[in-house]
Amino acid sequence: MNVSPPVNLQELVRRANALSGITLQQLANQVNITVPSSTHSAKGWAGNLLEIALGADAKNAPEPDFRKLGIELKTIPIDKNGKANESTYICIVQLDPGELKDWDTSLVKAKLNKVLWIPIEGDKDIPLSLRRIGTPVLWKPDVNEEKQLRQDWQELCDMIVMGEIDKISSSMGKYLQIRPKAANAKALTKNKNQYGETKATLPRGFYLRATFTQSIIGSLNDND
């Protein structure tokens, strides 16, 4: 089955709302895909499934999933209280000072300009096939959120430009953090500093902290 990209925002939201409440098995049936027995060796499976079902067209390009609409799709695992289980990967950390100059042209801002969050039950005691898709949340950073994101981004990028990437810790940044993003800890990529010197380092990615994404999607149930 091949789902065409939604023609506009309304269409996308309508499609996403139509999935609210159904299980991953039901959605997989709709697009003729087999549900893996667990996420252990299929970590991005649910995210890919939603991309296919909603007609995302950016594939693995470093752009928002719905190119024409400028909207990024993110699934987010939540526990039984509606709380975010995990941090959220945003994009690769570029390691050339030329690409780290300006927040307004950054990959992070492009990806987070507008995000359609789709919560999915993520408790490990629920079989993958029975996990339900939640109510989508269309989000755009407000003035204060963007200010903090920009500040985190600037602080981290400044360090990279200064050639201090190896001093960056995941504990840095209020909303944004930088963590490894690679096949394994031995993977290497090139990092250029402000003087044009190049050295090999572990590839990393930008992530949103779970505490921040939690504030975006809100809590379905504060009891328990």
Q: Nearer Cβ to DNA, position 23 or 94?
A: 94
CB count within 10 Å of CB 14 equals: 11
- Interatomic CA distance for residues 190 and 203, integer angstroms: 8
- Taking the complex as a whole, the smallest distance from the CB of residue 159 to DNA amounts, in Å, to 14
- Interatomic CA distance for residues 188 and 89, integer angstroms: 19
- Taking the complex as a whole, the smallest distance from the CB of residue 143 to DNA amounts, in Å, to 25
Tell me which DSSP letter residue 23 carries: B
Q: Are 193 and 97 in contact (CB under 8 A)?
A: yes
Q: Are 122 and 85 in contact (CB under 8 A)?
A: yes
Q: Nearer Cβ to DNA, position 13 or 42?
A: 42
Q: Are 191 and 162 in contact (CB under 8 A)?
A: no
- Taking the complex as a whole, the smallest distance from the CB of residue 161 to DNA amounts, in Å, to 17
Q: Nearer Cβ to DNA, position 143 or 208?
A: 208
- Taking the complex as a whole, the smallest distance from the CB of residue 158 to DNA amounts, in Å, to 18
- Taking the complex as a whole, the smallest distance from the CB of residue 142 to DNA amounts, in Å, to 22
Q: Nearer Cβ to DNA, position 124 or 143?
A: 124
φ, ψ dihedrals at 130, nearest 5°: -95, 0
* Amino acid symbol at 130: L
Interaction site with DNA (CB under 7 A)? 38-44, 46-48, 50-51, 58, 60-63, 65, 72-77, 85-89, 91-92, 94, 107, 111, 120, 122, 124, 169-171, 177, 179-190, 202-203, 205, 209-211
Nearest residue to 106 (alpha-carbon basis) of 215, 216, 206: 206
Q: Nearer Cβ to DNA, position 12 or 107?
A: 107
